[in-house]
Structure 1
Amino acid sequence: MPELAELMDKMKGVEAEIEAELTRRREELRFRFERRRIVFEQDIEKLQRAIKVGASKYLFSANPLIVLSAPVIYSLIIPFVLIDFWVMAYQAICFPIYGIPKVRRRDYLVFDRHHLAYLNIIEKVNCAYCSYCNGVAAFVREVAARTEVYWCPIKHARRVLGPHPHYVGFADFGDAEGFRAKIEGMKDGVKLDDGRSPTAV
């Protein structure tokens, strides 16, 4: 499928452009990475601290309904932690058997917003919570996607909103020969769309 390969190359080019733009934006906001730490220039950090809203003022000015709903939001930590550990155990046990490259969990769980001086402690806790839940969701999605690559690499007949990145390489719906070829090609282990071998972690 030369047309599909061309589209994939274009997508990679767009991703490279996005990363270049993000780098330019970081330079504008005057922060850099030092030994995995984010460091702002002193005058920028001073400005951020001046903008910060204190925790007590933030709490007492909040909508009472939002405060009352907070326990409901934070109760989700229980299922998220459970699924996080369960999926880690699943891929640790099953992926080596199937020959599927393991998903690096640390690539999906990113905690860096606590470096922002304009956030108070409540906002930092909220940001950490959101980072964890969204990171777990992304990690679980990738584990599920790689499982689908192994067990059922077939596109759906209907349009799928926001398919995972491996979906584009699936056999077309109704293409029996294409499906069998995909399954046959995984006898020595799964190779992902980015070319990584089954030994990658």
Structure 2
Amino acid sequence: MSTYSLTCINDTESTWTFGLFQKLPNFEGLVSLAWKRSAVPPKGQAILQWDVVFNVSITDYKQTNGVGVYTSEQVLDTNLGQVWECQFVDGCQQLVPAADQSGVTGDELLIRNRSGRLGNLGVGMSGSSAVLQPDVEDNASAQFVVKPKYYLGLFNRLKKGEVIKSNVAVGPINLVYGSGRTEMTATAAMAGATISLTHD
């Protein structure tokens, strides 16, 4: 298991929330969530860390003051190439390994909705939901090609699980951890009258 880290440096005069999120190759119909985040004061820094442990998840959607946030109801560790089912057991939706493990390749995860209800079904990493397919109908499936790309943006405010849309104030920038690299530094700085976000 590899552990990755991102040092976030705020070299501006304002407090910013550094928000890390993921996108997957088959992005049609999928929603990116605020996956890792930290508010960083002026001239301060924070470290975001995660392990490459993949997850499947069921989430619940709530909207407060116009901000949509998905909270995880269940997050389970998984290996890639597995099939899961969302079932309605003991009065709630639950994820269980599917008896039929066909229909996926080694870099995919498949979640079949067999709960009799709409399901917000997702995948993530390091214990948190990162990308989901909302409102999957009963007897339908959510299939994910789990080759995540990491993106970082600056936000005025950001809650974990918040939907990433037009709320990015600066960025986003793509973070590529190449061949064996596990650490990176991103810096927010003033560039004249504007704020820039760069990484090493």
Structure 1-normalised TM-score?
A: 0.23
| Greater relative CO, 1 or 2 (CA 8 Å, sep 6+) | 2
The structure whose residues are more often strand, as a share, is 2
Report the structure number with the largest CA radius of gyration.
Answer: 1
The structure whose residues are more often helix, as a share, is 1
Structure 2-normalised TM-score?
A: 0.23
